A and B are shown apart, each in its own frame.
Chain A
Amino acid sequence: MPERSLTRREVLTAVAAAGVVSAWLPRAAVAQGSLANLAPEEPVDKTVQRLFGARPIRDGASIINLDLPLIAEDGGNEAMSVEVKSPMTPQSYVKAIYILSDKNPRPLNAKFILTPGSGQAYVATSLRLADTGDVRAVAEMQDGTLFMVKRTVRVVVAGCAV
């Protein structure tokens, strides 16, 4: 095989490729889905305290509509939606909606961050529910005021480990 030295172009290409790889590796190496990076397993009261500290949480029954079936035939995929009656203007809007399931090992299911551009404080998704218990929706207004509603869901077939 004829021997030859690397051209300048080859060297530069190799160096550039190494740079790309090293810039890419540390990020890819982070196991974002490992247990250490998940929310902790804890009772729901602890989650509420972790999220909101000692801030008062008001009864949201008059402004939050949490819609989900009273009986979950399939705890692995239970449709739910939340709508908060509130203006969505820069002066007054719902800045976040939290969904918590009391009986899931990690009770915080999702946090929906909204803006006035959302137009309405409405979100919907499907939940995995580990067991019969309350599902809560917490609405956080732009001034930090918190409102909460709960609904008990009877789970027939559990969503297993969640």
Chain B
Amino acid sequence: MRGVSALGEVKVRAPGSVARGSVARARALIIHPNERVERKEGKPVDRNYRFVNRVVVSYAGRDIAEFETSTSIGENPSFGFAFRVNEPGTLKVTFFDTHGGRFEGAAEVKLG
């Protein structure tokens, strides 16, 4: 994809329509450095590293999953997951980082 991507930009990819009662898979990606711990002479350097430490997934207004994440996830973290579709709704993914950042992305899912 072309264009300048800014820290905190979130993309959520999910099927646009899903049969009622079935399970779909989605992927959410955030533009984020997800900093790793620096080491000097073998010792970790102490500072406030900026990384995504929590991700909350909701569908049709209900929380369905939560991920506790770390510096061991690569730059521009992406997460794949599944969700059950009993009704049309919004799939929402919220990323939280260690600097107080809160970034949201969403995709609409219809019954089909």
Contacts and interface: CB of A to CB of B under 8 A. Distances in A.
Contacts of A108: 70, 72
A161 B72 CA distance: 9
Nearest to B24: A119
Nearest to A41: B44
Interface centre among A28, A33, A76, A159 (most CB of B within 10 A): A33
B78 to A, nearest CB: 6
Taking chain B's interface residues, is the majority helix, strand, or loop, or is none over half, making it mixed?
strand
Nearest to A120: B82
Contacts of B39: 161
Contact of A161 (B27, B38, B70, B81): B38
Given A119-B83, A124-B81, A27 B100 contact: yes
Given A33-B51, A105-B44, A78 B72 contact: no
Interface string A29-69: 00111111111010000000000000000000000000000
The bracket for how many chain B residues form the interface is: 35 or more
B73 interface: yes
A2 interface: no
Given A33-B35, A88-B84, A123 B79 contact: yes
A104 B27 CA distance: 25
Interface residues of A, number: 46
Contacts of B2: none
Contacts of A78: 74
Interface stretch (B4-12, B59-67, B103-111): B59-67
15 contacts: A27-B100, A104-B72, A109-B72, A109-B73, A110-B67, A110-B69, A117-B83, A119-B23, A125-B78, A126-B78, A127-B72, A159-B74, A160-B36, A162-B36, A162-B37
Interface of A: 27-28, 31-39, 41, 76-78, 81, 88, 101, 104-106, 108-128, 159-162
